[in-house]
Amino acid sequence: MSRLRVCSFGISIDGFGAGTGQDLQNPLGVRGPEIMEWFFHTRTFRSMYGLEGGETGTDDSLAKDGLTGFGAWILGRNMFGPVRGPWPDESWKGWWGDEPPYHVPAFVLTHHARAPITMAGGTEFIFVTGGIYAALEQARAAAGDKDVRLGGGVATIRQFLHAGLIDDMHLAQRPVLLGAGEPLFEGIDLRALGSACNRSVAGERATHLFIEKVPE
């Protein structure tokens, strides 16, 4: 069975995975971009948007690994966009323009039905109203023998953690203190869920932490 994985997820020293007040102007929340600075400078990130240059090294290598070899993604609605409640129309198609970086089916959790959207480059956004188990079942069916990447945001990752569905996580911890925002692990006991941090790697702009389920 394919694994459900979290990759390249930025987190602050004080445990926040996003800032406060997420909206159209602040998709990562106020001060949220500070936890993704390690990614924004990489060659991998710049090439996603047709830009030249960018830093190479450990951060870039791990960013590239986090975008490679997945057969499907799962996204929370908040990660797909700032629209709340019933869809007012079908004009919003994500933050990423005509060619999103996924290039595979991306299953979006929502309470409000919407027809799938086919984008350039192989990405198809499929909206799932049946909850996290339905999204995972559909994503695994689409992925075949490849893994499924859980993109976020924080609330979505917390749901999957509480349900014990995540197989491994790569967190990129930035040396910043947000002070407020969306806490990733508040009220979650990873040890009780059978997980352990088995590796850490120092990058140029972040420390990379690898958390996996401990075999029973």
Question: How do residues 75-89 score in pLDDT, each as one tens digit?
Answer: 999 899 888 899 998
What are the angstrom distances between the C-alpha of 139 and each of 81, 105, 120, 174?
20, 8, 19, 30
pLDDT band (50, 70, 90) for residue 55: very high
DSSP line for 94-118: -SS-SS-S--SEEEEE-SS----EE
> Is the Cα dihedral 45, 68, 90, 78 positive or negative?
negative
Whole-prediction pTM: 0.94
pLDDT band (50, 70, 90) for residue 14: very high
pLDDT band (50, 70, 90) for residue 214: confident
Q: Is the pLDDT of residue 216 over 80?
A: no
Residues in the chain: 216
Q: Is 111 exposed, middle or buried (0-12, 13-18, 19+ CB in 10 A)?
A: exposed
C-alpha to C-alpha distance for 81 and 86, rounded to whole angstroms = 13
Residue-level pLDDT at 197: 96
Q: Is the pLDDT of residue 24 over 90?
A: no
Nearest-10 crossing angle of helices 154-162, 132-143: 90
Q: What is the CATH number of domain 4-213?
A: 3.40.430.10
Task: Compute the average pLDDT of residues 187-191.
Answer: 94
Whether the Cβ atoms of residue 148 and residue 71 lie closer than 8 Å to each other: yes
212 three-class SS:
strand
What residues pair up with 130 in beta bridges, in sequence order?
none
